[in-house]
Amino acid sequence: MADVRDILELERPVTPELTKEALLNSKKRTVERKIVAKRPEGMHREVFALLYNDNKDAPPLLPTDTVSGYKKTKARLGMKKVRRWEWAPFVNPARTDGAVFHHWKRVSDEQKEYPFARFNKQLDIPTYTLNEYNAHLKTTKWTKQQTDHLFDLAKRFDVRFIIMCDRWERANYGIKSVEDLKERYYEVVGILNKVRNANAQGGTEKKVYVFDAEHERRRKEQLKKLFDRTSKQVEEEQQLLNELKKIEARKKERERKTQDLQKLISQADQQQTEHHQKEQQQHHHQNPTHGNPSTSHKKQDKKLNKKKIQQQPRTSKVDSVVSAVESAGIKFTDLRGTGVSLRSQKMKLPANVGQKKAKALEQALQEFKVDPNPPPVEEICVAFNELRSDMVLLCELRTALATCNFELESLKHQYEALCPGKTLNIPAALVNPPADDSASGMDESSMA
């Protein structure tokens, strides 16, 4: 348009002068800053949101839902009639007093059994007759009246011995502890099961539970002593445990240093023998024998070969096997620490037993039909650990015997090779006896 106005010689409006300030001011935009209130220090975000929001509204008195969206939930009102409810009576079959209760139920629902009656579980408490009591259940510590009262309480309180001991009538039947009640109850149940299983033909035998009352009393005494310890005794015990840890750490450090020293001694001995052999070879080269060089050289070679054969240590596995047999067996840890521990931990295999040994032990126990997890009684623990240690020793002895037989055969072949025409007669006492079938399973799984 400016060029057209110049051609037509028309006046054009005065344009303002373009400057740097005018260009910068025209590009500036007015930005409104919102003043946001800061949350005071120490106040939680949720509490501050209740007191103040961005719109500066007062906090709501009631919980409201002000979420704005394109879709709002609507009430789903149907055109069907409202279902009728009634105040109906019901009976709980778990009760025996015939009590009638009421609850709300729909008229259209069918009459069903009270659903919570299935949680009423009743224990099967055995009963006995007078003849059974006189024949099998008579004792000097318990009378028939006391036994009858015990089983009546067991039926009433579902064999909850703590409550039974609390409700025991001490005025009529004397004082009895929880252990006495348990011992008598399980004794009667076990005798009745044995008698009735013996009389029944073709029935499955029930497992009889034996309660050790003396062990339970000792356990509670130990717990009471442990609980009644003073703070001074606890501190003294902790100090002793710390000292024991220090002693074990020093012992391990001493063993490690001993092993390092033995390695250094063995390396020094090996270097000394190598140096001695080199000196002998140099001495032979510097002082050759006079005479015919070929014959003397042959004789010298034969002598050297014989010396080498005599001095060369034969790679034998007998020494390693003998040392393995001497250290065979399993050394189980002796739990002598303070505090409570399970006796079954004594039967746990140590960490130094490898997987091969563990698998071979499992196969041997299955082979001899031994329970791999017997009840952890003191005598059974000791006997079971000795049995497994003897099994490992037996397998090591069989391995050593097989190795010795192999060495004898190799010596025989070497003797026949060095002395042709001669045979080495091995005594019959050193011959391997024939292995039985039960040993084959353990021999196959090498317990290295």
Which tens digit of pLDDT belongs to each residue from 130-147?
A: 999 998 899 999 999 999
pLDDT at 404: 84
Mean pLDDT of 93-116: 88
State which amino acid sits at residue 234. V
Give how far Cα 447 sits from Cα of 328, 350, 365, 429, Å.
11, 15, 15, 26
> Is a pLDDT exceeding 70 seen at residue 66?
no
- Give SS3 for 101: strand
Side chain identity, residue 422: K
Backbone angles phi, psi at 216, to 5 degrees: -65, -40
Per 3-state DSSP, the chain is made up of helix, strand and coil in percentages (nearest 5) of: 55, 5, 40
- What average pLDDT does this structure show over 280-284? 76
Residues 6 or more apart whose Cβ sits within 8 Å of residue 408: 426, 430
pTM, 2 dp: 0.41
Between 225 and 436, the more confident residue is: 225
Residue with tokens 């004792």: 139
Instruction: Report the DSSP pairing between strands 100-106 and 85-91.
Output: antiparallel
Per-residue CA distances from 231 to 223, 226, 234, 236 (Å) = 16, 11, 5, 9
Question: In the chain, pLDDT over 70 holds for what percent of residues?
Answer: 70
Work out the angle between the directed axes of helices 378-418 and 437-444 (0-180°, nearest 10). 90
Residue of 376, 381, 347 lying closest to 212 (CA atoms): 376
CB 137 within 8 A of CB 188: yes
Task: Say if residues 353 and 425 touch (Cβ distance below 8 Å).
Answer: no
**Alpha-carbon dihedral sign for residues 41, 44, 47, 52:** positive
Cβ(384)–Cβ(375) below 8 Å: no
Greater confidence (59 vs 278) lies with: 278
Of the candidates 385, 388, 368, the residue with the CA atom closest to the CA atom of residue 377: 385
Specify whether the backbone of 137 is left (phi greater than 0), alpha (psi in -120 to 50) or beta. Answer: alpha
* pLDDT tens digits, 152-161: 999 999 999 9
| 431, burial (CB in 10 Å: exposed 0-12, middle 13-18, buried 19+) | exposed
Range with the largest mean pLDDT of 46-60, 196-210, 340-354: 340-354
- Specify the DSSP element, H or E, that contains 404: helix 378-418
200, 155, 150: which is closest to 180 by C-alpha? Answer: 150
Query: Would you say residue 228 has pLDDT above 80?
Result: yes
Least confident of 42-46, 63-67, 99-103, 444-448: 444-448
